[in-house]
Amino acid sequence: MNDSTSPGALPEEFAQRLQQIIPCERFADCWKSFTRPMATSFRINSLRGRTEDVAAELTRAGFDLLPLAWNADAFSVPDDQRRALTESAACTEGRIYIQNPSSMIPPFALDPQPGEEVLDLAAAPGGKTLHMAALMKNRGRIGAVEVVRNRFFRLRSTLERGNAQIVQTYMKDGTRVWRQCPERFDRVLLDAPCSGEGLFQIDQPQSFAYWGKKKRAEMVRKQRRLLYSAVRSLKPGGTLVYSTCTFAPEENEAVVQHALEQFGDALAVRDIELHLDAMQPGLSEWQGAAFCPPLRAARRIVPNGVMEGFFICKLYKRESTRDM
């Protein structure tokens, strides 16, 4: 590894693994993303105001808004305006939600419709839940589940501030939801707990302090159980999106492949109809083990200074799993 991509304080094993995952022509930019904060981006919350009105409000307040081409409600601001943005009335009153653009993709991929019943199986801190409520125009119902107490109350605060009126929150273990709600939901979002590799920062050692094989194995156990619950909670004909903010294939393609093997023909991978320069297809193999070809339709987000590292896979439930 040359000096421009030196691993610095990050584990050498992480750097070696990443070089096997990220295309070589994108590796240098990806690595630089760990050395500086991502651009400050946000989504205007349509449940609290119209995009044009809130954008005009922020512009009058002196913010230099840069629109995101693929999301009409999303913008970024220069780094030196981040603190002022977090302290703005638009932020504190819920008209905007500060969020990396990668985190905006799972709700888009899920595409929840007004009037539907949707499950968010690991919902805190609530940005994606709020986004789904906006896409649904506050019509229908969202069940938002979070098991960790302090994160649960952060979730409730986010939803209250954002005027997400159709959300009911539950502090419970998401792996058990399917037992109370078998095949109940039209759509399910599982933004799963993960090893968080897409959020690593060299100047924040706590962001990777527990990284390693043991952490990945712990996350995989949780992810498999949560994805099982997500599939069992989904109606036949329904859509499920599985996402993480990590690069690890063990937590991404391998977890989805495990579910595809569990449920057989009842589950299928679907294309994600969003094409960005930062996207690459799902991996076809990892460390000599091949993944099933449909997983190429999953999408990986390669960090580029604006987008964080992310994995998204869209699944369709062809038939009932009640007898499985």
- The total number of structural domains in the chain stands at 2
Q: Do 162 and 202 belong to one domain?
A: yes
| Cα–Cα distance for residue pair 205/196, rounded to 1 Å | 13
Q: Do 174 and 214 belong to one domain?
A: yes
Q: Do 199 and 286 belong to one domain?
A: yes
Burial of 82 (0-12, 13-18, 19+ CB in 10 A): middle
Residue 144 lies in a domain: yes
For position 91, which CATH number holds? Answer: 3.30.70.1170
Q: What is the pLDDT of residue 26?
A: 93
Please report, in tens digits, the pLDDT of each residue of the chain (324 residues total).
444 444 458 999 999 999 999 999 999 999 999 998 889 999 999 999 999 999 999 999 999 999 999 999 999 999 999 999 999 999 999 999 999 999 999 999 999 999 999 999 999 999 999 999 999 999 999 999 999 999 999 999 999 999 999 999 999 999 999 999 999 999 999 999 999 999 999 989 999 999 999 999 999 999 999 999 999 999 999 999 999 999 999 999 999 999 999 999 999 999 999 989 999 999 999 999 999 999 999 999 999 889 999 999 999 999 999 988
For position 257, which CATH number holds? Answer: 3.40.50.150
Residue 277 lies in a domain: yes
Q: Do 90 and 232 belong to one domain?
A: no
Among the candidates 76, 99, 122, a domain finishes at 99
**Domain membership of residue 91 as a residue range:** 39-99
Among the candidates 80, 99, 118, a domain finishes at 99
pTM beyond 0.85, yes or no: yes
Residue 323 lies in a domain: no
Q: Do 33 and 76 belong to one domain?
A: no
Q: Do 44 and 125 belong to one domain?
A: no
Among the candidates 99, 120, 144, a domain finishes at 99
Task: Quick: pLDDT tens for 132-171.
Answer: 999 999 999 999 999 999 999 999 999 999 999 999 999 9
Q: Do 259 and 132 belong to one domain?
A: yes
Q: Do 197 and 245 belong to one domain?
A: yes
Q: Do 81 and 187 belong to one domain?
A: no
Q: Do 265 and 145 belong to one domain?
A: yes
Q: Do 142 and 225 belong to one domain?
A: yes
Residue 67 lies in a domain: yes
Q: Do 45 and 80 belong to one domain?
A: yes
| Cα–Cα distance for residue pair 281/233, rounded to 1 Å | 27
* Residues labelled as active-site residues: 245
